Structure 1
Amino acid sequence: MTPSEAGHPPKPVDRLSPVETDRPLERVLSPRELAAHLPEPGAWRPFPVLGDPAWERIEPATRRSLVEQARRAAAVPWPALPASLFAGYARTGDRAGFERPYFERRRRLAAAVLAAGVTGDARWLDEVRDGVWLLCEESTWCLPAHEEFAREDGGELPDPRRPFVDLFAAETAALLAWTDLVAGAALDAPSAVVRRRLREEVRHRLLTPYLARHWHWYDDEVRPVNNWNPWIHSNILTCALLLSESREAMLETVARAVRGLDGFVAGYGPDGGCEEGVSYWWRAGACLAESLETLRSASGGRLDAFAVPVVREMVAYLHRMHIGGDWYVNFADGGAHLPDQTALDIPYRAGLLTGDGDVVAHARATRRTGPPVVHQEVGLGRTLAGLFDAGWRDAAPAEAPYVGQVWLPSVQVMVARERRGTPDGLFLAAKGGHNAESHNHNDVGSFIVALDGRPVLVDAGVGEYTARTFGPGRYGIWTMRSSYHNLPEVDGVMQAAGPEHRARDVSCALAGDRAELSLDLAPAWPEEAGVREWRRTLRLGRGDDPAVTVEDRWELRRPPSSLALCLMAHGEIDASPGLVSVAGRSRPLLVHYDPDAFTADVERLPLDDPKLSGVWGDHLHRIVLRATTPRASGTARLVMKPGAAP
C-alpha cells in the first residue's frame, strides 16, 4: 500500500462479533514480563551497522538495485516543503501536492542509508546527514490531511510546539530511529549535533506526546479503532526500544503500546476478518505482526504472543482472500492486486511464528522470483527486515494454498472457489456487513466473481485520496456508491451509509458441492426506497456443471417506477437478449438472465484516476439490467458460467 492511501473515514460503528475484551496480548506481554525480558534502551540491535560484513553478503543484483535508486534520487535537489504547500490542503482539498515531495524526502533518506550500507562509500553519509537535517527542520511530520490540532485552532498551518501524532509522524520517527541504528556512529563523526538532534526530535514529536494524551486512534473511547492503531504502535515500539532516554520511559511506553494493541485486537472477531480489506491488512494485521515480532526479537524470543488464537487468524486473513496471481478480494478501500513493493516477508515470518504452513506457502508463492530480494518502497525498517532475513532470501518457491472456501462471520464475508488448490475455474466472494465499516463502501450484499484467477465481475475499489474521500462528500464519489457495485437499485435510490444500514438474517452454508450465502439487504436502503425485504442468495455450485448463481426475491411497499440490477465488469462485453458475455483471462464469463423480465444496458466507464487505471486499465463496464415491468414483489435469477475459450 502506498503512503497516499492512508486515511481515517468516519465510522461510528459496532463490529459484528468482536472477541472478548480480555486483553489476550497483555496476558502474555504483561508489564512484569516486559520488565523482566526487555533490554536496556538501545541494546536491541536487530540489523547490522555500516561496515558490518553482513552488508557485503547481500546478493549483487539487490545491491545494484539499491544503489541505483539512491543515485536517481540524489541526481536532483532535495524537494522543498514551503508553508504554502502545507496550506494547500486546507485551501483546495488536494493531498498530492504536499504528500509527493514529503514522501520523496523520506524515500531518499532511506535510499541513502541503504546505499551507504551496501557500498561502504562515505560520500553517501553526507546525503544521509542532509536527509536527517531536513526532516528535523520540518515544522511537523504530520500530513496536512491528518493535522487535527491546526483545524481545531482554525488555521492552515501546524504549531511545532504541539506535535500531532499521525501515521506518518510515527513512520518518520521510525525512519530516523533505523537511520540512527545503522548509521548513527558515522553521523557522529564530523559533529555529534546531528545524532543528538535526531534523537531529541523523535522524543519531542513521538515518544513524549504519545504518553501525554489520549489519542483518537488508541482505542474506541473516541473513535472506533482501525489500522492507525497497529501502524502507529509498530513504529512507537521501534522508537521506544532504540531511542528512549531511560529504561523507565521505555517500559512505560511499551506497556502502553501493548495495551493499545489489545484494544485493536479486541475489535476483531475470533476468525481474524479484517473489515478494512486486503490493502489495509498490510497496515492492520501485518503491523500487529511486526509489533509482536519486534517484542519477540528484542527479548530474545521470551516475549512471544504469536500463540494467541486471534493473532493466528488475523495473520491467515491475507491468503484466504487470494483469488490468483496478484489478484485479491478487495472489498472496502484499496486495490484488487498487490503492488510490486509488498513486503511479503512479513506474512512469511508471521506464518512461521504462528505455525501456519498455508500462510508461509502463500508468501513464498506470491514472492517475485529473482532479485532484487526487497523493494525499498516499503520503507527502511521493512527493507532492512527483508534484506537480512536469510530464511526469506533463500526460501524456495511454493504452490499457493488456494483455500477452497471460508466464512468469516465477524465481517460477514464468504469466499469460495470451484476447486481447492488451483485458481482455475469459478471463484465467488460475497459480503453482508453494514455501511459504516472502516474504509466503508455502501456495498451490503455485493459480490465478486473471478474466472481462472482473474476478477471479471468486480469491486472497482477506490481512487486517489482527497479531502472529499474522508469528508461529508465521500458517498458522492461513484466508487463508494451501491449502484457502482454488484447490487440492486430501487427507484434510483441507492443504499445509505450508517451502522443501521446493514444485512440481517444472514446465514452461510459451506459444503462439498456448494458454498452459499443468504441475507436480507432491506435495511441497507433508506426509508424512501420502500424496501420491506430483499432476500439475496449467492451460491457457487461445483460438480459437472459449475456455476455462480445470484437469486433475488423482493417485497416493496409500493410498485417502483424503476428497478435495476447493476454489475461492474472488467473485460470487454458482448450482449444479446438474455446473455451478457464478459471477456476473461482465457475464456469469457457468461451471465444469463431472463430476457422477458430485464433488458441490458452497457455503459463504458473511462478511468482517468491513476490509482483505478493502474488496476483495471483505462475503463470498466457497468451492466445495468433494467426490469421491463417493475413490480412491488418479484424474483430475479442470474446464472454465471464459463464460456468456451476463443
Structure 2
Amino acid sequence: MINLREIKKALIYGNDNDYVLFPEVREKSVMDFIMNSEKHKTQIEEIRLNSNLALKEPSPIINFKIFKEFEDTGNRLHFENAYFKRRRQLFSLILDYIMKKNQAYIFIIEEKLWEWCDLYSWELPAHFDISKENIEEGGELPDTTVALFAAENAFFFAEILSLIGDELDEFLVFRLKKEIFRRVINPFKNRNYWWETAEMNWASVCAGAVGATAIYLVEDIDELSFIVDRVIKSFDSYLNSFDEDGITAEGLTYWSYGFSFYVFFAELLKDRTSGKISLIKDNEKIKHIARLPQILQFPSRDFVNFSDADSEKWQGDCGLFAKLEAELDIEGYNYENSTSLYSDHAFRWASMVRKIFWYCDTYKDSKGPTALKKVTMSNNGKSNKEEDHVLNKDNYLTGSFYFKESQWLVDRRNINGNFVAFAAKGGNNDEPHNHNDLGHFILHYKNENIFMDLGSPEYLKEYFNDKTRYDFLTASSLGHSVPVINDSEQKYGRLSFSKVIDYKTTDSKILFKLDLTRAYRIKTLVNFEREFIWDYKLLELTINDSFNLNKANNIIKEAFITKVKPELIEKGKVRINADNSIVEMLYPENLQCIIEECNFKNHSGEETTVYRTSFLAEASYIEAYSFKIRLMDK
C-alpha cells in the first residue's frame, strides 16, 4: 500500500512536471474530433435538446415542504426529482457551453450555480437526520453532512470551476469555492465518517468524490496528502466488498456507481502526480472487478440483478468502459445503448462529461471483435473445462463463472444462435443492500428474464430499517424463487447463510448444490438442500429440493417468480408463453398449484406486476420434490 510520504512525494513530482487534470477535455484536437464524429452525433443532439429545455424551464422549487417530506412520510421522490432536474438543467447548459462557447449561456449558468449555493443542503434528506434528538445531541447538521450527494456535488462543482471558472463572475467563483470547503472539505478534515470503513459503494463514492474535490481545490501539499491518504484507505474498504474473483453482493447497478468513482479519482490522482500513482494498473483484483459487466450483463442488456440492482435493463457507461479497456487492456463490454448522457436519473456530471471525452479516445465502433477470442478469467472455485472463457464474434463472453467466496454461479451460452443464461446464488442474508434470497435463481432465454429477480423497490424510509425492510416484497423471500416452510420465510441476518455442498461441470451439465437449512432458522427444519442441474444443451433446468423435518405434519410452499403469468395446462404441468419462447415447468402431480398476482412499486415508483407460482405440499418427516423447466422456441 502506498504511504503518506510516497503520496506527498508524488504530488510534488506532479507540481514539478506541470500536471494537467482531466486533459482529454482540454485538448482542441479531441474537441474537434467530437464535434465532427458520427458516433458523438447523438450525444451532441441530446445536449442541445436538454440545454434548450433548460433555457426555457424555471428551476424546480425545493421548498421546506418537500425538504421535510422524507422525515414526515418516508417519501423521497418529490425532493429527489426536483434536485436531479436542477442537476440536469445546469449540467446540460455547461456541456453545451463547453462544446460551442456560446456566451449567452454564461448568465443562466451563473444563476443556476448561485441557486446551488443558496440550497440549504447538498445532501438528500434520506441521508441526514433532522430529528429533535439529533439536534439536541449536537449531531451532524444537513448543510455540513458529507454523504453521497454532497460529496458528489462538491466534486462536480470543483471540476466545473476548473473548466470554465475563468469565464464566470469572480464573486460567484469565490462563493462557490467557499461553499465547497464549508460543506464538504472542512467537515471531512475535522471528523471521521462511518463510510470510510464501509465495505460497500459508499466508501468509494464518498471518499472518491471528496478526494477528487481536494485534487481540484486544495493547494497545500501536506493538506492534500492527508486527504488523499484517507481516500486510498477508504478505497481499501471498498475493494473488500468484492471477493478475489471480482464479484460484489451489491450487484451490477452498484458496481457501476461505486467503481466509477474509484476510477474518476484514480485517473485524477494519476493526472495530479503526472503518472506516478496509478490505482488501476498492475492490480489483478481491479482487472477482475472491471470484467464484472461482461459476466453479469446479457446481450439484451438484461442482467443478473440480485439484491438491490435495478429491474430495468442496464445501459452501461461507455466512458468508463473505454477507460478500463485502455488502462487494463481488456475488451468485451456491451457499448450498445451505453452512450446516452441522460440514462442515469441522477445526472452525475462526472459520468456525463466522461461519456463524451473518455469514449472519444477509443475511436472504435460498438460491434466488438469479429473472431472468437479466449479470455482468461480467475476461478478460485473448482475449475471447469472453460477456465479460458470465450469472447465470441458478437462480443460477449460465454462459459460458466463460479464465484466460490460469494457463492454465485453464472452460466452464459450461445445455443443454436440464441443467448441463454442461468444464475443462482447462496451467501448470507446480511449482505449490502440485502435481500433474503438464498437459493434464488434467474433463467434468461432469447432476450428475456423468464424466472426473474425483482430488483430494488421504490426507496422509502421504511426500506432502510431492518425491522420493516422485509415487509417489502422485493427484499423478502416471498419475492424470490425459494420455498416457505411451515409459514416461515427466510430470516434476515448473518446467521442466515448457505453452504455449498457441490459444484461441478460435465460436457453439457452444471450441478450446483446448496445447504439452505440455516436460511430459515426454524426449529421444525432439520435440513433443507437445493440442487440445481442445468443442462444448457437441452435447455433444461432441474431443481431438486429435499427436506428433513422433525414433525409429521408440515406445509411447504415451493415458489417461483415470473414476469409473465403462467398457465396451468394440466396436473403436473405449467406453461409460460413468453414473448420469444415457450417455457414448460413440470412439477409433482400431488402438489397443489396456486398462481398469484403480486404488485409492488419498482425503483422508479411505478406500479409493477409479477407472478408467484406456488406448489403447496403436505409434508411428512422426509420429503423431496423435483421441478423441471424446459425452454422451447415458439
TM-score bucket (shorter structure): 0.7 to 0.9
Q: Using the aligned pairs only, state the percent identity.
A: 19
Deviation at 1:225, TM superposition (A): 2.2
Given the alignment of the two structures, is residue 515 of structure 1 paired with residue 510 of structure 2, yes or no? yes
Q: Quick one: distance in 2 between partners of 1:157 and 1:458?
A: 46
Asked if 1:381 corresponds to 2:350, the answer is yes
In the TM superposition, residue 53 of structure 1 has moved relative to its aligned partner by 7.1
- Deviation track 1:384-426 (CA, whole Å, cap 9, x = no partner) reads 2121232345444222323311011222100113448x88254
1:214 maps to 192
Q: Secondary structure of 2:236's match? A: helix
> Offset of 1:463 from its aligned partner?
1.4
Decide which of 433, 446, 466 is 2:460's aligned counterpart.
466
Q: Residue 46 in 1 paired to residue 22 in 2?
A: yes
* Matched residue, 1:488: 483
Q: Is the 8 A contact 1:386 1:392 kept in 2?
A: no
How far has the Cα of 1:64 moved from its partner? 2.8
Measured at CA, do residues 105 and 65 of structure 1 come closer, stay the same or move farther in structure 2, by a change above 3 Å? same
Instruction: Report the counterpart of residue 146 of structure 2 in structure 1.
Output: 165
Give the CA RMSD over aligned residues.
Answer: 2.9
Structure 2 counterpart of 1:288: 262
Map residues 54-93 of structure 1 onto 2, 5 A cutoff: 54-55=30-31, 57-59=34-36, 60-93=41-74
Distance of aligned partners of 1:67 and 1:84 in 2 relative to their CA distance in 1, 3 Å threshold: same
1:14 corresponding residue in structure 2:
none
One-letter amino acid matched to 1:643 = M
Give the secondary structure class of the aligned counterpart of 1:269: coil
Shifted more, 502-511 versus 259-268: the winner is 502-511
**AA matched with 2:614:** V
Please tell me whether residue 361 in structure 1 is matched to residue 342 in structure 2.
no
Structure 1 position 124, deviation (Å): 0.9
**Residue 453 of structure 1, CA deviation:** 3.5
Letter in structure 2 aligned against 1:198: L
Is the Cα contact below 8 Å between 2:129 and 2:142 reproduced in 1?
Answer: no
Partner in structure 1 of residue 134 of structure 2: 153
C-alpha distance after superposition, 1:46-70 (max 9, x if no partner): 1577996754542454323202101
Give the superposition deviation at 1:30. 4.5
Q: Tell me by how many angstroms 1:354 deviates.
A: 2.0
The Cα of 1:566 is off from its aligned counterpart by 0.3
Alignment correspondent of 2:567: 574
- TM alignment of 1:380-529, pairs within 5 A: 380-389=349-358, 390-392=360-362, 394-398=364-368, 399-419=394-414, 424=418, 426-471=420-465, 472-528=467-523
Moved more, 298-307 or 433-442: 298-307
Secondary structure at the aligned position of 1:480 is classed as: coil
SS at match of 1:328: coil
CA distance in 1, matches of 2:332, 2:129: 42
Which residue identity does 1:428 align to in structure 2? F
C-alpha displacement of 1:324: 3.0
2:305 alignment partner, one of 326, 330, 333: 330
Contact kept, 8 Å, 1:589 with 1:641, in 2: the verdict is yes
- The 1:607/1:494 distance shift into structure 2, 3 A limit, reads closer
Aligned twin of 2:285: 310
Residue in 1 aligned with 2:378?
Answer: none
Q: Over residues 411-457 of structure 1, what are the superposed CA-to-partner deviations in whole Å (9 max), with x where a residue is unaligned?
A: 2100113448x882542100000101000000011111111232101
Supply the distance in 2 between the matched residues of 1:625 and 1:456 (Cα, whole angstroms). Answer: 18
1:442 touches 1:495 (CA, 8 Å); kept in 2?
yes
Counterparts in 2 of 1:268 and 1:160: CA distance versus 1, 3 Å: closer
Flag the structure with more relative contact order, 1 or 2, with Cα contacts below 8 A and sequence separation at least 6: 1
- Which residue of 51, 75, 90 corresponds with 1:94? 75
Equivalent residue, structure 1, for 2:117: 136
Contact kept, 8 Å, 2:498 with 2:516, in 1: the verdict is yes
C-alpha distance in structure 2 between counterparts of 1:423 and 1:28, whole Å: 54
- For 1:605 and 1:198, locate their aligned partners in 2 and report how far apart those are by CA, in whole Å: 48
CA drift at 1:157 = 13
Q: Does 1:239 align with 2:208?
A: no
In structure 2, the CA distance between the partners of 1:380 and 1:346, relative to structure 1 (3 Å rule), is same
Per-residue CA deviations over 1:211-260 (Å, capped at 9, x if unaligned) read 211101000xxxx4211011112212221111114222222211211111
Aligned pairs, number: 599
| Pairing 1:28-47 to 2, within 5 Å after superposition | 30-31=6-7, 34-39=10-15, 44-47=20-23
- Cα–Cα, structure 1 residues 285 and 565, in superposed 2: closer, same or farther, change >3 Å? same
Task: Identify which of 613, 619, 627 aligns with 1:630.
Answer: 619
The aligned counterpart of 2:595 is 602
Partners of 1:388 and 1:138 lie apart in 2 by 30
- When residues 37 and 150 of structure 1 are mapped into structure 2, their CA distance, relative to the original with a 3 A threshold, is farther
TM superposition shift of 1:612 = 7.2
Whether the aligned pair in 1 keeps the contact of 2:302 and 2:314 (CA below 8 Å) is no
Aligned to 2:236: 262
1:301 is aligned to 275
Report the TM-score, using the length of structure 1 for normalisation.
0.86
CA distance in 2, matches of 1:225, 1:381: 23
Report the AA paired with residue 308 of structure 1.
N
Does 2:191 correspond to 1:196?
no
Q: Offset at 1:172?
A: 0.9
CA gap of 1:300–1:338, structure 2 versus 1, over 3 A, is: farther
- Say whether 1:639 aligns with 2:613: no
Give the C-alpha shift of residue 152 in structure 1. Answer: 5.2
Matched, 1:116 2:100: no
2:398 partner SS: coil
Aligned-pair CA distance for 1:550? 0.9
Report if the CA contact (8 A) 1:175-1:380 is conserved: yes
What's the CA shift string for 1:276-302, capped at 9, x where partnerless? 011111112333233323323333433
Q: Could you give the per-residue CA deviations for residues 76-123 of structure 1, whole angstroms, max 9, x where no partner exists? A: 221222233212211111111211111211221111111212232112
Give me the TM-score of the superposition, normalised by structure 2.
0.88
The whole-number CA distance in structure 1 between the counterparts of 2:55 and 2:18 is 30
Higher deviation after alignment, 89-98 or 553-562: 553-562
The counterpart of 1:538, out of the listed 532, 538, 557, is 532
Instruction: Verify the 8 A CA contact 2:303 2:314 in the aligned structure 1.
Output: no
- Secondary structure of the 1:639 match is strand
Q: How far did 1:150 drift? A: 5.4
Please give the alpha-carbon distance, in whole angstroms, between the structure 2 residues aligned to 1:79 and 1:31.
Answer: 42
1:71/1:622 CA distance change after superposition, 3 Å: same
CA deviation after TM superposition for structure 1 residue 29, in Å: 10
Pair 1:560–1:106, CA change in 2 (3 A): farther
Deviates more, 1:397-406 or 1:444-453: 397-406
Per the TM alignment, residue 568 of structure 1 is displaced from its structure 2 partner at its CA by 0.3
- Residues 542, 90 of structure 1: alpha-carbon distance in 2 compared, 3 angstrom cutoff: closer
- 2:391 maps to none
Q: Please give the secondary structure, in 2, of the residue aligned with 1:273.
A: coil
Partner residue, 2:387: none
Aligned counterpart for 2:323 among listed residues 349, 352, 355: 349
Give SS of 1:236's match. helix
- Point out the more displaced range, 164-173 or 546-555: 546-555
Deviates further, 32-41 or 549-558: 32-41
How far the C-alpha of 1:156 sits from its partner, in A, is: 13
